[in-house]
Amino acid sequence: MMSYNSFNVPFVRQLEGPMHPGRVVAIYGNIPHHCSRFVINLQCGGAQPSVSDIALHVSVRFDQHCVVRNSQQGGWQHEERDGGMPHSLHRGGHFQMLLMCEGHAFKIAFNGQHFREFRHRMPFQRVTHVSVEGDVSINSVSGVLGSAHQTHNPSVPHVQNIGSVYPGRCLRVRGFIPHNAYRFSVNLANGPSMDYSDIALHVSTRPSEGLVEINTCRRGGWENGQQLRPCPVRLGQAFEMMILVDDYAYKVAFNGVHFAEWPHRHPYQGVNHVIVEGSVQLQLVSVEGQQRSGGYAPPPPPAAPVPFYPSPYGGSHDFFPNPYHIIH
């Protein structure tokens, strides 16, 4: 049976780069109706949690109606249990957990609300991995290494060879739309040129016109496109676009919310480049997801939209949920 979770629990994943004050690890997931408890650790090294030093251990315990914080260094240390269970956490619901490192402590937030601090008991610089165990499904974890191929802060226009695409492959584009932007486009093409390549998927985002146009270009000619209103992003704001390759269509999402589907008009197997043009400042272009095994599998039953929770810690710490099920 195919797993539609982004991460198969339990898992241990390496963080990208060192832990430092100001860094936030964001975890999105779903709590099953039968959940007793689940654990998220920031740990030192990639061994199993039972044999690792753990700088921060967060144990969400519905069976005890509390969230336990602790650390492990040659054995478990003193538990912190005050605070009870956050009101926004419940069985059968989505959740977002933010773990923010500061010089003196980790800050813990659930669903956009600060919960507690946990003062450092060992140098935070030792943290290299995040691990998850227990009764929980994890949709996304920010800042971990995996099967993604990432380009940070590229200039625009941006042309990137992404190799082959297949069902389960996902393109993630994150950036900022200037106040004076007119439009920008993200394109999946069979070559590096907008002028001489077939464009399997053209997503033209036009916040100044209040719409998004989706189209295909073959042999130099644009086909019948579709204009969709309203535009899901605004001038002067950060955004994240995701494009998931499905068996029969491309799925497009903005800021963690599914927006549109575009049926394949020519074989996706020919796509090998992403091209980004227009009035946009790019922060990240990421290609991620593994090929689905066993041929076509129907999508999972429709689920309630994953909520977006602004970070309670200010700055640029907003993380959008993942609306699609990507196998990492």
Beta bridge partners of 228: 212
Beta bridge partners of 90: none
How many percent of the chain have pLDDT more than 90?
65
C-alpha distances in Å from residue 170, one per residue of 141, 198, 245, 287, 322: 15, 19, 6, 6, 11
Mean pLDDT score, 47-65: 95
State residue 164's pLDDT score: 83
b vs e for 269-305, b when ≥16 Cβ sit within 10 Å of the residue's Cβ?
Answer: eebbbbbbbbbbebbebbbbbeebeeeeeeeeeeeee
b vs e for 100-128, b when ≥16 Cβ sit within 10 Å of the residue's Cβ?
Answer: bbbeebbbbbbbeeebbebebbbebebbb
pLDDT at 302 over 90: no
Pairing of strands 53-61, 37-44: antiparallel
Total length of the chain: 328
Q: How confident is the model at residue 16 (pLDDT cuts 50, 70, 90)?
A: confident
- Asked if residue 327 lies in contact with residue 6, where contact means CB atoms within 8 angstroms, the answer is yes
Retrieve residue 125's tokens. 């610089």
**HEC assignment per residue over 185-248:** EEEEECCCCCCCCCEEEEEEEECCCCEEEEEEEECCEECCCEEECCCCCCCCCEEEEEEEECCC
- Mapped onto helix, strand or coil, the DSSP state of residue 290 is coil
State residue 163's pLDDT score: 85
The rounded distance, in Å, linking the Cα atoms of 49 and 72 is 9
pLDDT at 73 over 50: yes
Mean pLDDT score, 86-102: 93
State residue 202's pLDDT score: 97
pLDDT at 143 over 80: no
pLDDT at 293 over 80: no
State residue 112's pLDDT score: 87
Give the chain's mean pLDDT: 87
pLDDT at 313 over 90: no
User: Tens digit of pLDDT for each residue in 18-50?
Assistant: 999 989 898 988 999 999 999 999 999 999 999
State residue 301's pLDDT score: 38
State residue 291's pLDDT score: 67
Radius of gyration, alpha carbons of the chain: 21
Q: What is the dihedral of CA 79, 20, 11, 245, to 10 degrees?
A: 140
Retrieve residue 46's tokens. 């990639």
| Concatenated DSSP letters of 132-181 | EEES-EEEEETTB-SS-EEEES--SSEEEE-----TT-EEEEEEE--TT-
Looking up tokens 């189209």 gives 215
The rounded distance, in Å, linking the Cα atoms of 239 and 299 is 26
The rounded distance, in Å, linking the Cα atoms of 299 and 167 is 11
- Asked if residue 54 lies in contact with residue 41, where contact means CB atoms within 8 angstroms, the answer is yes
State residue 324's pLDDT score: 59
Q: How confident is the model at residue 260 (pLDDT cuts 50, 70, 90)?
A: very high
User: Tens digit of pLDDT for each residue in 145-197?
Assistant: 665 677 888 999 999 998 888 898 889 999 999 999 999 999 999 999 888 88
How many percent of the chain have pLDDT more than 70?
85
Of 54-58, 117-121, 265-269, minimum mean pLDDT range: 265-269
